[in-house]
Amino acid sequence: MADERYNRKNPAVKRILQEVKEMQANPSDDFMSLPLEENIFEWQFAIRGPGDTEFEGGIYHGRIQLPADYPFKPPSFMLLTPNGRFETNTKICLSISNYHPEHWQPSWSVRTALVALIAFMPTSPNGALGSVDYPKDERRTLAIKSRETPPKYGSPERQKIIDEIHQYILSKATVVPKPLPLECSQAPSIVSEAHSQVEPQEAITVVEERSIATTDTIVDDQIIEETAEAVNTAASVVPAAAPLPAVEVVVKASVSGEQRMARRAAQKPVDDRLFTWAAVGLTIAIMVLLLKKFIKSNGYSTGFMDDQS
């Protein structure tokens, strides 16, 4: 019923509809995700906190934006519930998100991405973009709080989907393991013991974090440089299109295609004589064709002037 609204000939839409069917046919207890009615490239999701961690029992909502050329480009993820591991209302940096398109595989899907997201929760952020590192007790408090009410976000339709997903996950999720009163009295001593034992490991961890942070800084610099290069490329293309306003739309539409072609052409120069002569011949033919086109488009007077010269 709803499927008939969308343009089914678009391969991205076909792929997304297939994934929706598969999600509904095989629902999971750990997560649920639904696309918006009005825009199938916008999804709402909720994941259950992984077991045996401080996130256990928590219900974390988020939003997924699929690109127009999905599944050949990765989606972007944004978490809406405070969780102590990822920032809210900010796109997060993961190997499955659009921060790293080189790591994305077309055979991955929203399902695999959500499974990976659940697996990423207990890991150390190591200074990645969109990540935070709260203490464990604070994370547990946030987990308990996340069950009570879903976050308020977006339009009423989106909020309805969020509430629906929250109810589903709430019916599936386990209860948060609450600390007993007896353990409360013993907690300070246990914490102190753990602290004394873990102290040397913390030193090692600090060293590791510093080295990894340095690596992340280098990686971030590379990403920034790549972005700058992309911007420069786009900027250089635009002036070339300016002399021909009629062709401008076509040029903009196929910018990415041009980049691909340009790279391939640059990487494979052909020095053969035959190819050179063939290219010259083709060039002449194309010039003749363009000249004819030019004469026709500019009318009789231009043709007359050309005949004079």
Partner 1 sequence: MKFCKKYEEYMQGQKEKKNLPGVGFKKLKKILKRCRRNHVPSRISFTDAINHNCSRECPVCDGTFFPELLKEMEDVVGWFNEHAQKLLELHLASGFTKCLTWLRGNSRKKDHHGLIQEGKDLVNYALINAVAIRKILKKYDKIHESRQGQAFKTQVQKMRIEILQSPWLCELMAFHINLKESKKESGATITSPPPPVHALFDGCALTFDDGKPLLSCELSDSVKVDIDLTCSICLDTVFDPISLTCGHIYCYMCACSAASVNVVDGLKTAEATEKCPLCREDGVYKGAVHLDELNILLKRSCRDYWEERRKTERAERLQQAKEYWDYQCRSFTGI
Give the active site residues.
93
Contact between 290 and partner 1 per CB under 8 A: yes
Number of residues this chain uses to bind partner 1 (CB under 8 A): 30
CB–CB of 113/28 below 8 Å? no
265 sits in the region (left: phi over 0; alpha: psi -120 to 50; else beta) called: alpha
CA-to-CA distance for 122 and 110, rounded, in angstroms? Answer: 20
191 binds partner 1 (CB under 8 A): no
Instruction: Assess 106 for contact with partner 1 (CB under 8 A).
Output: yes
State the minimum distance, in angstroms, from the CB of residue 298 to partner 1. Answer: 16
In the set 260, 277, 278, 292, which binds partner 1 (CB under 8 A)? 260
- The only residue of 155, 254, 276, 298 in contact with partner 1, by rule CB under 8 A: 254
Q: Provide, rounded to whole angstroms, the least separation between the CB of residue 25 and partner 1.
A: 9
Cβ proximity to partner 1: between 194 and 270 the closer is 270
Question: Is 71 an interacting residue with respect to partner 1 (CB under 8 A)?
Answer: yes
Q: Does 265 bind partner 1 (CB under 8 A)?
A: yes
CB atoms within 10 A of CB 187: 12
* Residue whose tokens read 């002399």: 243
Is 113 a binding residue for partner 1 by CB under 8 A? The answer is no
Spatial contact of 153 and 159, defined as CB atoms under 8 Å apart: yes
268-292: b (≥16 Cβ within 10 Å) or e: eeeeeeeeeeeeeeeeeeeeeeeee
Of 82, 41, 90, which Cα lies nearest the Cα of 61?
Answer: 82
- Under the binding rule (CB under 8 A), the answer on residue 19 touching partner 1 is yes
250 is a contact residue toward partner 1 (CB under 8 A):
yes
Q: Does 257 bind partner 1 (CB under 8 A)?
A: yes
Is 188 a binding residue for partner 1 by CB under 8 A? The answer is no
Is residue 210 involved in binding partner 1 (CB under 8 A)?
no
Question: Does residue 218 touch partner 1 according to CB under 8 A?
Answer: no
Q: Report if residue 248 touches partner 1, rule: CB under 8 A.
A: no
Distance, CA of 290 to CA of 296 (rounded, Å)? 10
Select from 14-22, 32-40, 143-151, 295-303 the region that touches partner 1 (CB under 8 A).
14-22
Nearer to partner 1, 39 or 283 (CB): 283
**Residue placing its CB nearer to partner 1 in the complex, 197 or 267:** 267
Contact 157, 38 (CB under 8 A): yes
* Given 26, 107, 201, 297, the residue binding partner 1 (CB under 8 A): 107
Q: Which amino acid belongs to residue 272?
A: D
Could you say which of 24, 95, 105, 192 contacts partner 1 (CB under 8 A)?
105
238 belongs to the binding site for partner 1 (CB under 8 A): no
Binding region for partner 1 (CB under 8 A): 9, 11, 14-15, 18-19, 22, 71-72, 105-107, 109, 240, 243-244, 250, 254, 257-258, 260-261, 264-265, 279, 282-283, 286-287, 290
